Amino acid sequence: MKPLRSLLFYVPILLVLIVDPSSQDIGLWVRFASASLVGLAGIYLYRNEMKGGFTSLSLMTIALVLSVVKIGQISAPSELYGFVARISFLAAWMLIAKAAFEKNKNNALQALGMGSQVALIIASLSILPSLAEAYQENNIYLAKGPLFTHKNYAAATLLLLLPLGFLGTFEGSVGKWVRIAAFALAGIAILLLRTRGVWLGGLAMAAVATTHYIIQGNAKLRNNGLIALAILVV
């Protein structure tokens, strides 16, 4: 399956795993730096698609300028390391995404959608057991799971991945059930996490998408959007 060979399939999964708090003792910047190294491998693989336009040199220059500007605003070296690591991570993966889309847009979208569905399942399953504990203890802030440091981060990550999950799906009947499981688990987790900002963000996202489908005349997606809006409003 070609999408599985694309690095964009692994980006959403990396997004979930990179916030793993179990390695906080070695510093957040170390995790972002590690992801940036993976990004460097991706830049090498897509080097033939990066010969023009917004190149790696452009992004490295921007990262350097932003880091220099940040120097006067830091209170600890680790903060600067974290900032540089985050910028490096974003720069590397922006280049990879650009190159992947230029090489094969449909394959890139399919890979990103499939990876997002896998990431949604991983994140949701990590949260649901702690949600049960949180409701038993009547303390919703216990609902974060092993992959997140706060329930709001968990809800926001799920909301970020939801629209990406619509971009593609696995082939055959397995793909249908993976998609259903991903959206169902993520929807349940988002509702139970009780993060009002994420609820409002989801409502706005559904409203914009539904309006777009109404204008486009897509009856099936319009109806799906209206159902999603109704669930979020309730």
* Top-confidence residue, 163 or 75: 163
What is the pLDDT, as a whole number, of residue 63?
A: 61
pTM above 0.75, yes or no: yes
119-161 confidence digits (pLDDT tens): 999 999 999 999 999 999 999 988 888 888 788 888 988 998 9
16-65 confidence digits (pLDDT tens): 877 655 544 445 566 677 777 777 777 777 777 666 555 555 666 666 66
190-213 confidence digits (pLDDT tens): 989 988 888 888 888 888 888 877
What is the pLDDT, as a whole number, of residue 185?
A: 94
Query: How deeply is 77 buried, as exposed, middle or buried, from its count of CB atoms within 10 A (0-12, 13-18, 19+)?
Result: exposed
How far apart CA 128 and CA 14 sit, in angstroms, is 20
**Average model confidence (pLDDT) for the chain?**
78
* Top-confidence residue, 40 or 164: 164
- Out of 71-75, 100-104, 181-185, which region has the weakest mean confidence (pLDDT)? 71-75
What is the pLDDT, as a whole number, of residue 64?
A: 62
Amino acid identity for residue 144 in this structure: K
Amino acid identity for residue 90 in this structure: L
**Does position 67 have pLDDT exceeding 50, yes or no?**
yes
Half-sphere exposure for 101 (CA within 13 Å, toward CB): 8
What is the pLDDT, as a whole number, of residue 186?
A: 92
- Out of 8-12, 87-91, 108-112, 170-174, which region has the weakest mean confidence (pLDDT)? 87-91
What are the tokens at 55? 């190149």
217-230 confidence digits (pLDDT tens): 877 767 777 777 77
What are the tokens at 146? 């092993």
What is the pLDDT, as a whole number, of residue 119?
A: 94
What are the tokens at 4? 């599985």
**Does position 89 have pLDDT exceeding 70, yes or no?**
yes
**Does position 75 have pLDDT exceeding 70, yes or no?**
no
What is the pLDDT, as a whole number, of residue 1?
A: 58
Residue closest to 12 by CA, chosen among 145, 109, 150, 81: 109
